[in-house]
Chain A
Amino acid sequence: QKEVEQDPGPLSVPEGAIVSLNCTYSNSAFQYFMWYRQYSRKGPELLMYTYSSGNKEDGRFTAQVDKSSKYISLFIRDSQPSDSATYLCAMSVSGNTGKLIFGQGTTLQVKP
């Protein structure tokens, strides 16, 4: 079993839809949770960063962490064609080793 599971999709939605992206994990020691966006043939770009459980909102993006269920989500409101990309969840344990464990990534296509 992988430490981090993420449905690779692809996920196709119409413009303006609310998108829900999810990851589950097995290691209860994970404390830091991140979402990255990666366009084709580019490096990942940090979107959201959360510590422990709870919600965090930044513009059209909301990240949720439920440590009791070992489940994290990223919601995108009013999705735009420019949001079409691969979204990677990543997480790390407490401490300063900084080693990130990535999910496989979900490919999102927002159709105009």
Chain B
Amino acid sequence: GAVVSQHPSWVICKSGTSVKIECRSLDFQATTMFWYRQFPKQSLMLMATSNEGSKATYEQGVEKDKFLINHASLTLSTLTVTSAHPEDSSFYICSARGTGGYTQYFGPGTRLTVL
């Protein structure tokens, strides 16, 4: 149980384009989803927290207009990187937490490369 999927697993795009990443909880309802960013050999940095049906809460220093998060259902959250630039190239990982729980279950990650 507690499986989280992400799509796509790898995406390459041109500078200036927008990219959407999906995060789905497959066998449980995720009241809260989290989006992280991870650079090579570094730890996970929380970007934002989203609760189903509410606006996302962004961490300090994360541009909310650049990283658009939507959590429209209890099983799906999306992260859209708008007008992507090479410095946005990174490994993006989502996690999901079910009702009443403290444990986060992570997706397999999406590697974004912006040319």
Contacts and interface: CB of A to CB of B under 8 A. Distances in A.
B102 A45 contact: no
Contact of B104 (A41, A42, A98, A103): A98
Is chain A's binding surface mostly helix, strand, loop or mixed?
loop
B106 interface: yes
A42 B91 CA distance: 9
Interface residues of B, number: 24
Given A43-B106, A46-B105, A99 B43 contact: no
A14 interface: no
A80 interface: no
Q: How large is the interface on A (under 10, 10 to 19, 20 to 34, 35 or more residues)?
A: 20 to 34
B54 interface: no
Nearest to A2: B43
Interface of A: 6, 8, 32, 34, 36, 41-46, 49, 88, 92, 96-100, 102-105
Given A46-B105, A98-B104, A99-B49, 13 more contacts: A32-B102, A43-B95, A43-B106, A43-B108, A44-B44, A44-B106, A45-B106, A88-B44, A92-B102, A96-B100, A96-B102, A103-B43, A104-B42
